[in-house]
Amino acid sequence: MKKAMSAPCQKKTAKQCTVLAVEPGVITRIYIEEALHAIGVIDFASSGREALENTRDNSYDIVLINLRLPDIRGELVARLMRARQNHAILIATSAEFTDIPFPFDAFISKPLTRRKLLEAIKALL
């Protein structure tokens, strides 16, 4: 499902986007950084609460959200972001689910690969 981009990202290429990865797993965080470092600025949050704080204080073009967070379900984090009129592309990640849960724009199954990450992002830009 293609989503209308926020004004800042419409003017950017994938190499200039800002990304927030909401991922509690240290190894997965390292992998995401290695896979996506070339597309722009990547910030990390290890919990839902931290992600909500980050998106309150910063603007992101893309937010990757692990559906299984230690404090708040990923779907709820995404709903709260949308309720605040956050227009970032929201991409769910999980090893357990196979469908795109509302209100996400895309879903990437784990294990994550560089190819999966880049293809999902490019398809939504």
- Tens-digit pLDDT profile for residues 22-80: 999 999 999 999 999 888 899 999 999 999 999 998 999 999 999 999 999 999 999 99
Q: Which residues, other chains included, contact 123 with Cβ-Cβ below 8 Å and sequence gap of 6+?
A: 2, 106
Cα separation, 4 vs 96, whole angstroms: 28
What local confidence, expressed as pLDDT, does residue 3 receive?
38
**Topology given in CATH for the domain delimited by 7-124:** Rossmann fold (3.40.50)
Cα separation, 75 vs 116, whole angstroms: 20
Half-sphere exposure of 125 (CA within 13 A, CB side): 22
What local confidence, expressed as pLDDT, does residue 117 receive?
94
pTM, two decimals, is 0.86
pLDDT digits (tens, 9 = 90+) for 2-31: 333 333 454 455 558 999 999 999 999 999
